[in-house]
Amino acid sequence: MKKYKIALIKGDGIGPEIVDEAVKVLDAVASCCDFDFAYEEVLMGGCAYDITGDPLPQETITTSLNSDAVLFGAIGGEKWDSLPREKRPESGLLRFRKELGVYANLRPAVVYDELVNASSLKPEIIKSVDIMVVRELIGGIYFGEPKGRDENKGWNTMVYTRSEIERIAHQAFKIAQKRDKRVCSIDKANVLDVSQLWRDVVTEVSAEYPDVELTHMYVDNAAMQLVLNPKQFDVMLTGNIFGDILSDEASMLCGSIGLLPSASIGDKIGVYEPIHGSAPDIAGQGIANPIATIASASMMLKYALHEEEAANKIDRAIKRALSEGYRTKDLAQYDAKEVCSTSEIGSIIANYAAKCKH
């Protein structure tokens, strides 16, 4: 029997609770498929800093690189906010992404029919929304030099090289080919030189994908269009910070940020993680929504392990739990038949995933 090696990084806040549920669902699926998982837990974030003095111990990188995929919860919290920048949990995550070379962050924002009333937008605006944000993840202003601060000045630099833009653009076009064949590239080319290069290079790359329609949009307009008429988007191709912002906005089309998964991929090992943070305010209460992490585990099965059928089982199980009215607290006001704890909804989804037919 195949045994996949999964590095588990539970992290801080609600991280451990939600990763535990994703593991429960993965094991349930494995029980009716011809593979199994071997998990190895490693530390990152505030918990890693507390134990080792480093938010990203070397062992975490080594173990992750020796696995088939990384399943990640969330990191950070007020407790570590006053540390020097390089000791902060977020710095550990950014360094981790860089070490693993995961330059493409895929963030699907799909509105479940069952939750069409859960968004702050009108149902007719968001019904059937199916967007894939393809966010560049290891470049741009998050990493550009020079950066720094003194008493009176703080500075960061937004840099993109031609090769960084080319590789993320290829990803976006390839993904679009399997979807509705439309890429909207987001930039601020009316103001930023880096964005002008971005636009030119994306346009050049698009010549290799004549079957995909390319449009360009300024990021401020994109933020507006996302709430005005989100159905106009298929694939949104963005740089690092624009994608960070727009993917949080896109999550609200879906009702709760607790629903949105992501896959970070590159040339080596991929990282699968919810798009939300560690929510320290609700940690340990059993009210966090684990669906984003469970759906990230499904993306891991699909993109890293090529176990498409097993991934579909999880996706169908999530939908079934929602259509039968099971809701965690964040979605309790929306057609809930029963409000569940984190572990209850995890068990329900695990149960359905194990039963779903091939």
Catalytically annotated residues? 142, 188, 220, 244, 248
- Taking CB under 6 A as the rule, does residue 164 contact ligand IPM? no
Stretch that binds Mg ion, among 102-110, 112-120, 216-224, 239-247 (CB under 5 A): 239-247
68 is in the binding site of which of Mg ion, ligand IPM, none (Cβ under 5 to 8 A by kind)?
Answer: none
Q: Where are the alpha helices (DSSP H) in the chain?
A: 15-31, 46-52, 58-65, 89-100, 123-126, 162-177, 193-206, 219-228, 240-251, 291-303, 308-323, 342-355
Phi, then psi, of 103 in degrees rounded to 5 = -85, -15
287 is in the binding site of which of ligand IPM, Mg ion, none (Cβ under 5 to 8 A by kind)?
Answer: none
- Taking CB under 5 A as the rule, does residue 273 contact Mg ion? no
Nearer to Mg ion, 4 or 142 (CB): 142
Tell me the residue number closest to ligand IPM, measured at CB.
Answer: 90
Binding mask 228-247 for ligand IPM (x = CB under 6 A): ----------------x---
Tell me how far apart the alpha carbons of residues 84 and 59 are, in angstroms, rounded to a whole number.
Answer: 22
Nearest C-alpha neighbor of 26 from the set 270, 272, 294, 271: 294
- Site size toward Mg ion (CB under 5 A) is 1
User: In one letter, which amino acid is 297?
Assistant: A
Count Cβ atoms within 10 A of the Cβ of residue 112 and give its class: 0-12 exposed, 13-18 middle, 19 or more buried. Answer: middle
Tell me how far apart the alpha carbons of residues 291 and 258 are, in angstroms, rounded to a whole number.
Answer: 6
Binding mask 48-77 for ligand IPM (x = CB under 6 A): ----------------------------x-
- Taking CB under 5 A as the rule, does residue 244 contact Mg ion? yes
Task: Look at the block and give the residue holding tokens 């698009």.
Answer: 206
- Taking CB under 6 A as the rule, does residue 93 contact ligand IPM? yes
Which stretches of the chain bind ligand IPM, using CB under 6 A?
Answer: 76, 90, 93-94, 244, 275, 277
Which stretches of the chain bind Mg ion, using CB under 5 A?
Answer: 244
